[in-house]
Structure 1
């Protein structure tokens, strides 16, 4: 693939960790402005060389950086404000949507100790999430808000309240509107802890580990629904607003739609476990109404899944069976990779969608990189960077720590092959001088026409290290 070099032009500096970067036009305005949501609960927008506050919900956000045994006190967290989407008619109706972790909902978590599957111990392969009303980490909410002229944004209603088992894998950039259906697309991670201990992502009744469409045009007349974990626990009017596009999700940094003639290519990334990060693409799909999933479950039958997308997790990590690593005592420089869920890999082997491309945590090839975690996937349709036109650009939070100090994230790109087979990828070189500090690439965004790319970088992995963020425009 063509080697591409870009420059990074700083737009905003010294902000908190950015989780969403997207543009819209404010009601009564004429300029498309960049909106930046931060993990701690601020939403800013830019214009005329200034940055202004659009909304501040920090008081509504759970206290960050203080959960999870072994992580507590270190400041790393995956909760907070993780989703922002503007209604397609936002300019006229002022509606926008938020996904965040709710203050005051901290629980003990679903497991008391670190989880790792053991193929020799079937108990570790068949865990069940029990006592869900008390054994959970926090509650995430999806809300509808409205901006009315000459007034502050106001919350209108809550669409979903989701009880989450662990602190991580809540999605990021988790809300986006589909230009095909006009529905709000919610991407939910598998709930966290690594290796999906309860196999929530493949269970049709579990809300975790799915890509879900929400028909926000339907008024359920339920303005504060109960906190749930399964579709069949939802009130029927809310069930009737939901369809499921995909399952087998580990954690997704959003969904990107690329128009091609009269149809759209959908791109989603699935964050990997120990070995590989993957990006998937699909055009045609057949979403399943949640009411049908519930009916099939109550009859103990399987719904028609023709055209339904399955990313393969937890049996598959991208294009390879999910494995865990352990050191080789005879040779400490080598690791043994053992298939974690053999039976599940077999069951989902023909049902799963093959990735468009994958990249690995260890890669000996000189023109590649060892990654850590996928943090953004965006289609690029602009002409300002001609070699990237029509491609899908993605970012990893940090190159393999053994290969580079100080820490640097990485940009890369790939394309859909005409024969739909797994494609290679190429690193995008950048010329920005970050100095001696770390630069984790935490988010990737575009404008409305996908002709511009925006990159969020942070100087720390800890959300409690404040004001270390920079938002760049990626330019030729």
Structure 2
């Protein structure tokens, strides 16, 4: 693949951890503004070269950096907070926008009291159930509809969903996006967290976790404060009737993006990996199944199939899910054991194959070891001609022993018309971050996908404040 070099042009610095970067045109305005949502709950936009506050919901966000147990990454790291921001396609006229965040005051003890590890020799670890959900959970996430009033003040209109989550991680990020095909709001949720999806929520079709869901925001359910749920069949019928499911088998996703191709759209999603590999998928066609139909099928004990399955937890990208441990006989090597053999078989032919994958350990000279996929966006601009029409992605932090301080990675791939696995190439950048760490935490585009924006953070802890810089990726 062509070696691509780009520059990073800083747009704004000293912000909190940026989770969403996207543009829109404010009502009465004439130009697209870049909006930056931070994990702690602020939404800014760039107005006439200054940073302006659009909305600040910090008091509504759960206290970050502390967890109820089960899966604690150490002080300050967190995957909760303000996770999604989407502007209605008619935002300029109707002022509607949507938020997904972890709610203040909802901290629970977590679904398990200790970290989970599957053991292929112990069936109990392979068949865990999430019980006592009303008390054994980590937090509650909410999806809300807001309106920008004529006086310029945003106001909440209604709550669309309240979701109880088992662990602090895998809640999705950049998790709300509108589909240009259906006009619906697309919510990408993670599998609920811990690691290895202890309760196999991502494959269970009644579980909201681990799915891609479309929400018809045109329908008014007249339910302003929906119940807190974990399963589709716990929702009131008017809410069920607004929802369709387009995919399952999600581990954790940094959003969905749409690339126009003649009169259709290619959809891109990334699935964050466990121990082995990070994967990017593309698809044209999909079957979206109404939740009411799924519940009917479940009551009749029939399997409703036909939508996309990314294969998790049986598969991690193109590989059966494994766990990795050192070899006592040879410390330079490691042993990879298939964690869920039966599930890998069950989903082997039903799952979507990745477009491209990259590995946590890769010795090839032009590749890199990754840690977690943090953004996937198509680029349709001409400014960087070698990238035109390709899909660009970011990884949180490059794994190279010699490398200190930390650096994230920017890379790209292309869609193959034969559907086969494609290669990827690292995009070289010339920016000097100095002695500061630079975790690549988010990737965004403008409305017509001719500009790319990169969110970088100087720490992996959300509680180390004001260490964020947002760049435009330029030739």
2:24–2:34 CA contact under 8 A, matched in 1:
yes
Question: Corresponding residue for 2:441?
Answer: 442
Aligned counterparts of 2:55 and 2:436: Cα–Cα separation in 1: 30
Counting only pairs closer than 5 Å after superposition, residues 22-421 of structure 1 correspond to structure 2 as 22-69=22-69, 71=72, 74-303=75-304, 305-306=305-306, 308-421=307-420
What is the TM-score of this pair, normalised by structure 1? 0.99
Match of 1:456 in 2: 455
> Take 1:123 and 1:228, find their aligned partners in 2: how far apart are those partners?
26
Q: Quick one: distance in 2 between partners of 1:150 and 1:440?
A: 38
In structure 2, C-alpha distance between the alignment counterparts of 1:333 and 1:78, rounded to whole Å: 32
**How much does 1:418 deviate?**
1.8
**Distance in 2 of aligned mates of 1:397 and 1:256:** 19
Contact 1:315 1:344 in 2 (8 A): yes
The separation in 1 between residues aligned to 2:402 and 2:141, in whole angstroms, is 36
* Shift in Å, 1:151: 3.5
Q: Which moved more, 1:144-153 or 1:31-40?
A: 144-153
Alignment check: 8 A CA contact 1:65 1:72 kept: no
Between the aligned partners of 1:314 and 1:20, the Cα distance in structure 2 is 27
Q: For the residues of structure 2 that align with 1:398 and 1:197, how far apart are their CA atoms? A: 26
- Cα deviation code 1:188-228 (max 9, x no counterpart): 00000000000000000000000000000000000110000
2:5 aligns to what? 5
* Counterparts of 2:260 and 2:252, CA distance in 1: 24
Q: Is the 8 A contact 2:68 2:108 kept in 1?
A: no
With over 3 angstroms needed to count, the CA separation of the structure-2 counterparts of 1:25 and 1:150, relative to structure 1, is: same
Shift of 1:330: 1.1
Conserved in 1, the CA contact under 8 Å of 2:109 and 2:137?
A: yes
1:126-148 Cα distance to aligned partner (Å, 9 max, x none): 00000000000000000000001
Q: Is the 8 A contact 2:245 2:291 kept in 1?
A: yes
Greater shift in the superposed pair: 73-82 or 456-465: 73-82
Instruction: Tell me the distance in 1 between the aligned counterparts of 2:192 and 2:180.
Output: 28
Displacement of 1:403 in angstroms is 4.5
Segments of 5+ residues of structure 1 without an aligned counterpart are: none
In structure 1, distance between residues paired with 2:421 and 2:87: 33
**3-state SS in 1 of match to 2:397:** coil
Q: Check 1:72–1:255 CA distance in 2 against 1; reply closer, same or farther (3 A cut).
A: closer
Aligned residues: 474
**Cα distance in 2 between the residues matched to 1:353 and 1:162:** 27
Q: Secondary structure at the match of 2:172?
A: coil
**Paired residue secondary structure (1:413):** strand
Shift of 1:71: 3.1
Does the 8 A contact of 1:66 with 1:72 survive in 2? no
> Does the CA-based 8 Å contact 2:314-2:343 persist in structure 1?
yes
TM-score normalised by L of structure 2: 0.99
Hey, what's the Cα distance between the residues in 1 that align with 2:262 and 2:152?
40
* Native 8 Å contact 2:314 2:320 kept in 1: yes
Measured in 2, the distance between the counterparts of 1:418 and 1:391 equals 13
Q: How big is the alpha-carbon RMSD for the aligned residues of Structure 1 and Structure 2? A: 0.8
SS in 2 for 1:443: strand
Aligned residue in 2 for 1:468: 467
Gaps of 5+ in 2: none
SS of 1:141's partner is strand
